[in-house]
């Protein structure tokens, strides 16, 4: 049996300000740091050995994982960082306040931008300071792989091949893995694991800083799946 733990980073500074973040490298808000430490405490109770730790290139996910490891009294040198696990790129919406955008475009339009399967926001101007080309964290990522905008479908097509090659292969070797990532990159993983269709995946809500604990049998079938913090759990649609 193997275990996969998925953790959406704790509340970030731009989550707090209700802004579209995407690939902008903002840090955790104070509440997010507390959520990350609570995640570590919840994982400590499980008393399992975690063999691999994956995260994105974004410091809100990286620092969530570091705080978890600190709580578990483990070295953060074991972290594997992958840009493929980054949040969805929100294009020209990046940095904008969601409530202000609702006043301009309406609730339905903004919700479609946020959760529809294949709707793309307008591309972000390459001269924007928020464009990944102008953010130091991505200087070693091949330019052809850096997006100007993404749909959830694009995010899935970026995340899944990496997850399949680097994570699933290890789970099938009965290794236990923790992934600290983002709402939409984790939605992409959940779409595959839970066999969600394009409509179901748009409805999946993933809370910040609450480990999703998934147990697999030797046939790589999910036998249990639950959030460790029951009070802050969200519906998994299929469980």
Dist CA 82 CA 80 (whole Å): 7
How far the first Cα of the chain sits from its last, in Å, is 19
The answer to whether position 18 is within a domain reads yes
Q: What are 157-187's pLDDT values in tens digits? A: 999 999 999 999 999 999 999 999 999 999 9
Supply the residues annotated as catalytic.
Answer: 9, 87
> Residues for the chain: how many in total?
239
The answer to whether position 185 is within a domain reads yes
154 band by pLDDT with thresholds 50, 70 and 90: very high
The answer to whether position 63 is within a domain reads yes
The answer to whether position 151 is within a domain reads no
The answer to whether position 25 is within a domain reads yes
> What CATH number is attached to the domain comprising 32?
3.40.50.1240
Pairing verdict, β 2-8 and 212-216: antiparallel
Dist CA 162 CA 38 (whole Å): 28
Its domain, for residue 50, covers: 2-89+159-232
**What's residue 237's pLDDT?**
65
DSSP string for residues in 151-199: -HHHHHHHHHHHIIIIIIHHHTTT--EEEEE-HHHHHHHHHHHTT--HH
Dist CA 232 CA 150 (whole Å): 29
User: Cα dist. 224→114, 161, 205, 220 in Å?
Assistant: 29, 24, 19, 12
3-state class of 18 per DSSP? coil
Chain-centre distance of CA 33, in angstroms?
16
**What's residue 41's pLDDT?**
96
Q: Are 158 and 61 a contacting pair, CB within 8 Å?
A: no
The answer to whether position 13 is within a domain reads yes
Q: What are 33-60's pLDDT values in tens digits? A: 999 999 999 999 999 999 999 999 999 9
Give the chain's mean pLDDT. 92
The H or E element containing residue 4 is: strand 2-8
3-state class of 74 per DSSP? coil
The answer to whether position 116 is within a domain reads no
pTM: 0.93
Dist CA 239 CA 29 (whole Å): 31
Q: Which residues are registered as beta bridge partners of 226?
A: 213
Q: What is the mean pLDDT of residues 107-119?
A: 75
**What's residue 104's pLDDT?**
72
Dist CA 14 CA 131 (whole Å): 16
Dist CA 40 CA 65 (whole Å): 9
The answer to whether position 6 is within a domain reads yes
Into how many domains does the chain fold? 1
């Amino acid at each position: 049996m193997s275990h996969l733990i998925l953790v959406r980073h704790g509340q970030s500074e731009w989550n707090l300000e209700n802004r579209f973040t995407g690939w902008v490298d903002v840090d955790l808000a104070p509440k997010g740091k507390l959520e990350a430490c609570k995640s570590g405490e919840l994982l400590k109770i499980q008393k399992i050995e975690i063999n691999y730790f994956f995260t994105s290139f974004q410091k809100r996910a990286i620092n969530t994982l570091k705080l978890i490891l600190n709580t578990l009294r483990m070295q953060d040198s074991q972290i594997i960082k992958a840009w493929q696990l980054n949040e969805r790129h929100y294009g020209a919406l990046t940095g904008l306040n969601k409530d202000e955008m609702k006043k301009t475009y309406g609730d339905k339009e903004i919700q479609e931008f946020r959760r529809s399967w294949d709707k793309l926001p307008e591309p972000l101007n390459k001269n924007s300071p928020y464009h990944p080309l102008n953010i130091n964290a991505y200087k070693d990522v091949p330019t052809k792989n850096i997006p100007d905008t993404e749909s959830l479908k694009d995010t899935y097509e970026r995340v899944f091949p990496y997850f399949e090659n680097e994570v699933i292969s290890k789970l099938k070797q009965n290794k236990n893995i923790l992934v600290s990532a983002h709402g939409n990159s984790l939605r992409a993983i959940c779409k595959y694991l839970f066999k969600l269709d394009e409509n179901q995946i748009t409805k999946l809500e993933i809370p910040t800083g609450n480990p999703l604990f998934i147990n697999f049998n030797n046939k790589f079938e999910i036998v249990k799946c639950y959030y460790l913090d029951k009070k802050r759990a969200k519906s998994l649609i299929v469980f």
